Each structure stands twice: as structure tokens, then as C-alpha cells.
Structure 1
Amino acid sequence: MRQQAASREFFFQIFALILSLIMVHAIYVALIRPNANAIMQAQLEREAAGEVVVAERSLYVVLKDYEQEACFILMFWAMAIMGYKARRSLKERSLLQLKLIQIDEGSRILPEDSRQLARPIQALPTEQQEYLLPRILSAALQRFATTRNIQGVSEVSNDTCEKESDRLDSELSMVRYIAWAIPSIGFIGTVRGIGEALGQADKAVQGDIAGVTAALGVAFNSTLIALVISIVVMFLVHQLQLLQERLVLDSHSYVDSKLLRHLKTD
């Protein structure tokens, strides 16, 4: 079941990347680049007519280059991956509202009661049985039934939570890579723009600085957009990580309050 979930998530990530690429590229081809080219062409025509032109800082011009397009593709891809993980975490949190351990306040749980208490958990749909809380409860009840040791139950609960925290953290590696790649792409645009500007230094010496200005615009615009997108992505990464950490902590607290404090060995 865990392998099937991992496979579904992998194919979702591939689909999300393709969809993000198609969507962003379509917007650039149909809207951003035509408008940017029209603005820049109008400015050149006014300059050729001898008018004094104050360069427009249009959003279309700022976004028009390939580096900005790549940054937006990665941003939407990362947001899709984080949305998928957040949705699963919220579904897992919904189990915290259920009474999976059927026991009244003040009652005791003996090792012989473990099998009966595990039945509501076993009755859950297969997908929900793979969620964190049912896994902790199942492992804890099984350990209590076999060892009759409360300390052992506490240890298995802690171990399951720690492993889940490590797993969730490792699964964020792709999102963290994307968050790192976005500003890197922006710096690539900076290097490309500065390189183009240096290549037109001879024209600037002769008084034609239009090419140098345009190349420097590429350099600064790509860095600006990449850094802004990186800030947004990192904010969402930390919010997702906070949601996942709270899930683990709340699940551990649920086990402590609903199960561990009721356990008795005699």
C-alpha cells in the first residue's frame, strides 16, 4: 500500500510538472511576450523619431525572459507538490477528531483488551490504516498485547513518530531543491544579461547604449523575479513543514491521552 501511494505521488509530480510547463508557456506565448515586444517596439519607434523617451517599467517587459518563465514553471510545480502533501496531512488530521479507542474516562486497559480495542482501527478503509495515527495505535496495542510492558508501548509510539518525522522531512527534499533552483536560475539570467551587455560595450562607447540597457534589464529583472518567487515558495515550504510537524506532535499527544494513561498490567 505504501509503495502504491509513493507511485501515485511520483506520477502526480510528473503530471504536475508537465501541466505547469504547458500552462506557463501558453501564457507567455499568448500574452506576456507579445505585449512586451509591442511595448519595446513602440519605444524604439519613438526613439527613432527623435522623441525623448522615458523607459516604461512594464510588468510584461520585466517577465518576458526565459529565466522568469522557468522560475514560474518551477513555482507552480512546487506548489502542486506541496498542495498534494498538505491535502494528505489534512486528511490525516481529520482522524484526530474520531474516537478510535473506545474507552470511557477512568477505565483501565489490560493486555487482554488490546485485540478488542484494535477492531475499530482495523475496520478503517485500507488507505486510512496507513495514516500515522492508526499506525501508532496498532503498533502500541500489538506491543502491549505481546510484551505486557507499558514502557515498551511508549517506546514504540515514540519510535513511530520519529520515523514519520524523518520520512516527512526526506519527502520535502524535492521541494527544497526547487526552492534552491529558482534563485539559481535567476542568477543565470543575471550572468547572461551581463555577458550580453559586455558584448555590446563597443556600441556603448560609440554612444548607442540601447543594447547595453536592454541586456542589463535582463540581468536585473531575472534576479528580481527569481528572488520574489523564492520568498513565496520558501514561505509555503515552512507552512507545510509546520503542518506536518503539528500532525506528528498531535498524533503523539492523542496516543498519550487516549491510550497510554489508561494502560494497566494488572
Structure 2
Amino acid sequence: MKQKYLSEVIYQIFALIIVVIVVHAIYVAVIRPNADIIQQQQTLQQEADEDYVPDRSMYIVLRDFEQETCIILFFWALSIIGMKTVRTMRERSLLDRELLQVSDGTSILPEDTRHFARPVQALPEKERGFLLPRAILAGLHRFGTTRDVQDVSATVRDICDNESERLESELAIVRYIAWAIPSIGFLGTVRGIGTALGQAHQAVTGDILGVTVSLGVAFNSTFVALVTSIVLMFLLYQLSLVQDRLVMDSQTYCDDHLIRYLQVPGRSTPQVGNNEAVQPA
């Protein structure tokens, strides 16, 4: 488990470094040079024709440092979401496999728990760390120890609850990025408005170019920040939904493939339904 967390931290650090290098290279080589050329052309056309209305260029919208920072954070968060989505899909693939070879009409007795645990224990080490194998092994071990079906149900439910909380906490960095992006955009707005006010004396003399450029910085940074934040929040909630479904489906799998087959000699098996499934956060 510690190795898993360490690998995630290393992945996030290298993902951030790669995103910074790639995005900054694109800005230096493509976006800012084109933005400067377009800005110069629009300035010349405005000087030649007072009625000229410049077209809105994406190069100019994206060229400032606040927008670059927002895009870097967006793609960094996107890489984290992608990693967690792939891992969740791998865990979901176990739901389509018969990890417990139990046929209808067969019961699992406390003495049989080791036998039924062997196929799960034979899984690759990486897959044994997934939620479903951990829940099954914990349930079988609990049943062999306590000989109580209700204890097994409670154990499976607790593991699923803990997994749900863990998955929720691991999304904290993405939620922080989703909060930070609009904040950076508003910082660009403050910077642009402040610069525009500092050039107000030029506007009084008739030169409004500096004021308009500064106001463009203000509104462009907010525009880019809000758009990227909206897209990021949508992807974040989709990931959260997929993870919640994984937890609920894993508990349902344990109910249908494990708990319903448990039997203690001399006792009737309590009815354990899916009404105890983990509710999404």
C-alpha cells in the first residue's frame, strides 16, 4: 500500500514537470509570438482606421502568464484524473470475473473459508490490493474466525466505507486545483485593471491603447480560468461517480457471491440484502 502511494506521488510530480515543460514550450514557440504579431497588426489597422474593430484572437486571449498557469494546472489535474480513472476501470474489471467458485445450492461453511480464499490469494499482488479481493478475503477470514454471517456483512461494509472515504480524500488535490484556477484568473483580472488604471492619464490625452490592452488581460484571464474550471469540475464529478459506483458494486458483488452462500451448521442464514450498500458521497 505504501508503494502504491509513493508511486502516485512520483507520478504526480513527474506529470507536473512534463506539463510545465510542454505548455511553456508551446507558449514560447507558438502562442506569444503569434499574439505579438496579431497585436501589432491590429494596432496598425486601428491607427489607420478609427472604425476598425479587431477580431478576437485565441492567441491574444491565451498569451498572458495567468492563462498559462491555469492551463498548466488544468492539464496536471487532467493527468491525475486520467490515472485514477484507469485504475478504477481496472478494479471494475474484477467484477466481471468469478473470484469465488460457488455454484447454486452450495454453502460455504466456516471450515471452507481457506479453500475458497485460495483463488483470490492466487491473484497477482497488484490485483490483490484492489477493493473487491480485499473485501472478499476479509469477509472469509472473519467468517472463519467468528462463524457469524452478520459479522461478515459488517466487515465488508466497513471495508467499502473506508475505501469510499479514501477515494474521496485522494481527490483533494484535484479539488484544490479546481479552486485555484479561478483564483488565478481573478488575480489576472486585478492585475489588468490595476495596470489599466495606472495608464488612465494616457487615455485622457487620447491614447487608449494601453488601457484597452490591460483590460484585455483582465477579462481574458477570467474567461480562460472559468472555462477550464468548468471543464475540470465536470470531469472531477464524473470520476467521483465512477468511484462511488465501484464501491457500491463491489459490496453488491460480495452480497451476491459470498454472503448469500455463507452457512453455519445448525443455524439459518440471515438475510443480508443490498440495502446496506455504500451510498455515494
Alignment TM-score, normalising by the size of structure 1? 0.98
Supply the distance in 1 between the matched residues of 2:186 and 2:113 (Cα, whole angstroms). Answer: 59
Q: CA deviation at 1:206?
A: 1.4
Q: CA deviation at 1:252?
A: 0.2
Q: CA deviation at 1:181?
A: 0.5
Q: CA deviation at 1:204?
A: 1.0
Q: Identify the residue that residue 239 of structure 2 maps to in structure 1.
A: 240
Q: Identify the residue that residue 163 of structure 2 maps to in structure 1.
A: 164
Q: CA deviation at 1:48?
A: 3.8
* Structure 1 residues 174-217: Cα deviation after superposition (integer angstroms, max 9, x where no partner): 00000000000000000000000100111111111111111111
Supply the distance in 1 between the matched residues of 2:44 and 2:233 (Cα, whole angstroms). Answer: 42
Q: Identify the residue that residue 84 of structure 2 maps to in structure 1.
A: 85
Q: CA deviation at 1:44?
A: 1.9
Supply the distance in 2 between the matched residues of 1:107 and 1:180 (Cα, whole angstroms). Answer: 53
Q: CA deviation at 1:53?
A: 2.5
Q: Identify the residue that residue 30 of structure 1 maps to in structure 2.
A: 29
Alignment TM-score, normalising by the size of structure 2? 0.93
The 10-residue stretch of structure 1 (181-190 or 55-64) with the greater mean CA deviation from structure 2: 55-64
Equivalent runs, 1:75-224 vs 2, <5 Å: 75-224=74-223
Supply the distance in 2 between the matched residues of 1:181 and 1:41 (Cα, whole angstroms). Answer: 32
Supply the distance in 2 between the matched residues of 1:54 and 1:122 (Cα, whole angstroms). Answer: 70
Percent identity, aligned pairs only, is 58
Give the letter aligned to residue 260 of structure 2: R
1:16 aligns with 2:15: yes
User: SS at the partner of 1:28?
Assistant: helix
Give the letter aligned to residue 69 of structure 1: E
Give the letter aligned to residue 78 of structure 2: M
Supply the distance in 2 between the matched residues of 1:240 and 1:47 (Cα, whole angstroms). Answer: 48
* Structure 1 residues 15-40: Cα deviation after superposition (integer angstroms, max 9, x where no partner): 00001001111111111111110011
Supply the distance in 1 between the matched residues of 2:146 and 2:48 (Cα, whole angstroms). Answer: 91
Supply the distance in 2 between the matched residues of 1:205 and 1:138 (Cα, whole angstroms). Answer: 77
Supply the distance in 2 between the matched residues of 1:224 and 1:46 (Cα, whole angstroms). Answer: 26
User: SS at the partner of 1:127?
Assistant: helix
Q: Identify the residue that residue 228 of structure 2 maps to in structure 1.
A: 229
Supply the distance in 2 between the matched residues of 1:233 and 1:49 (Cα, whole angstroms). Answer: 42
Supply the distance in 1 between the matched residues of 2:105 and 2:230 (Cα, whole angstroms). Answer: 50
Supply the distance in 1 between the matched residues of 2:50 and 2:43 (Cα, whole angstroms). Answer: 10
Q: Identify the residue that residue 272 of structure 2 maps to in structure 1.
A: none
* Structure 1 residues 200-256: Cα deviation after superposition (integer angstroms, max 9, x where no partner): 111111111111111111000000010000000000000110110000000000000
Q: Gaps spanning 5+ residues in structure 2: where?
A: 266-281
Equivalent runs, 1:43-82 vs 2, <5 Å: 43-49=42-48, 52-82=51-81
* Structure 1 residues 37-67: Cα deviation after superposition (integer angstroms, max 9, x where no partner): 0011112223344564212211111111111
Q: Identify the residue that residue 277 of structure 2 maps to in structure 1.
A: none
Give the letter aligned to residue 240 of structure 2: Q
